[in-house]
């Protein structure tokens, strides 16, 4: 059965996509829950409009992400941490710490889930951290971990 998705569904596609699914799946689950519409002529026109709106929204998000790249790459983020001998930190600098530092120092809001950090930073010095701003746009942020002053 041909249906038009009314919501983004991970296993099927995005809002406005026309897909073919099993009749029972469409009639008993997707359509009653409002996740899909039956593919009629009028609904197909509506699907076209949904796809066009999604494309425009994605382009807008991509351009906003591209403008953030310049800001994030231009300035390093300084994070203060307590350390022991040989520059080893007592704790670690996590994704949340990096996100908070970016927001406080650069004024850009970045979700910690979008920060790519394989393991927490455990040493003083300069570290490059990748930030995913969009599916196609990534930024490299320089994180400077400095010695915490007790004063």
One domain, residues 86 and 142? yes
Task: Write down the pLDDT at residue 79.
Answer: 92
Beta carbons of 126 and 142 less than 8 angstroms apart: yes
One domain, residues 83 and 43? no
Residues 6 or more apart in contact with residue 122 via CB below 8 angstroms: 88, 89, 92, 93
Task: Write down the pLDDT at residue 20.
Answer: 93
Is 111 domain-assigned? yes
Task: Write down the pLDDT at residue 25.
Answer: 93
Residues 6 or more apart in contact with residue 85 via CB below 8 angstroms: none
First to last CA, the chain: 70
| Domain span including residue 101 | 75-147
Task: Write down the pLDDT at residue 44.
Answer: 86
Task: Write down the pLDDT at residue 21.
Answer: 93
82: domain CATH number? 3.10.430.100
The residues of the chain scoring below 50 in pLDDT are none
Task: Write down the pLDDT at residue 151.
Answer: 53
- 3-class state of residue 149 by DSSP: coil
Residues 6 or more apart in contact with residue 77 via CB below 8 angstroms: 98, 101, 102, 105, 106, 141, 142, 143, 144
Task: Write down the pLDDT at residue 61.
Answer: 87
| pTM of the predicted model as reported, rounded to 2 decimal places | 0.66
Beta carbons of 62 and 137 less than 8 angstroms apart: yes
Is 70 domain-assigned? no
Is 69 domain-assigned? no
Q: Are strands 18-20 and 115-116 parallel, antiparallel or unpaired?
A: unpaired
One domain, residues 32 and 82? no
Cα of 63 vs its chain's centroid, Å: 14
Which helix H or strand E contains 30, and what residues bound it?
A: none
């Amino acid at each position: 059965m041909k249906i038009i998705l009314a919501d983004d569904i991970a296993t099927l596609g995005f809002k406005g996509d026309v897909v073919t699914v099993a009749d029972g799946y469409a009639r008993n689950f997707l359509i009653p829950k409002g996740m899909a519409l039956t593919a009629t002529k009028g609904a197909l026109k509506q699907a076209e409009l949904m796809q066009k709106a999604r494309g425009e929204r994605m382009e807008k998000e991509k351009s906003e992400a591209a403008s953030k790249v310049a800001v994030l790459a231009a300035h390093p983020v300084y994070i203060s941490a307590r350390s022991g001998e040989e520059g080893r930190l007592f704790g670690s600098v996590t994704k949340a710490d990096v996100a908070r530092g970016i927001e406080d120092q650069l004024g850009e809001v970045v979700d910690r889930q979008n920060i790519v950090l394989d393991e927490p930073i455990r040493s003083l010095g300069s570290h490059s951290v990748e930030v995913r701003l969009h599916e196609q746009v990534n930024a490299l942020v320089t994180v400077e971990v400095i010695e915490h002053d007790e004063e």
